[in-house]
Amino acid sequence: MIAAAERNSVLLQLGFMRRFDPDFQAAASRNRGGRDRSTHANQSSDARPGAPSSLGTRSEESNGMLAEVNSHDWDAVRWLAQSDPERTYAQVSNFKGATHGVETPHFYDTAL
């Protein structure tokens, strides 16, 4: 993305808006409350009804919902913990795709 922006003389900005959400800012303030508050585990829940966006179902143009949506979760975890994770583990599944006509191979709409 950086190279494409430079080649085309355009500005590039990443928009991780959760850092500006009042609830996330309050959580960050509590997390930085003065005493040692190492983050050992984090849970992020995000539910959207209905079909996935068309971008999230076209693997030739996208990395799917995990990249299109969950990148915000990854950023929030790193920001709240003020560190990079040492280890991550994920299980994924497709619960809604078939009922909405999504037939993209390896499409995942749910991650744990």
- Would you state the pLDDT for residue 36? 54
- Would you state the pLDDT for residue 82? 84
pLDDT tens string 50-100: 555 665 666 666 666 666 677 788 888 888 888 888 888 888 887 777 777
- Would you state the pLDDT for residue 67? 65
- Would you state the pLDDT for residue 11? 93
Q: State whether residue 39 is helix, strand or coil.
A: coil
> Measured between alpha carbons, how far is residue 5 from residues 11, 20, 33, 61 in Å?
6, 25, 39, 17
Report which residue type is found at 103.
Answer: E
Q: How far apart are CA 89 and CA 112, in angstroms?
A: 8
> Measured between alpha carbons, how far is residue 11 from residues 1, 3, 8, 62, 75 in Å?
11, 11, 9, 21, 21
pTM: 0.60
pLDDT tens string 10-56: 999 877 888 889 998 988 888 776 555 566 666 666 666 555 566 56
Q: Is residue 6 very low, low, confident or very high in pLDDT (cuts 50, 70, 90)? A: very high
- Would you state the pLDDT for residue 99? 77
Q: How far apart are CA 48 and CA 73, in angstroms?
A: 14
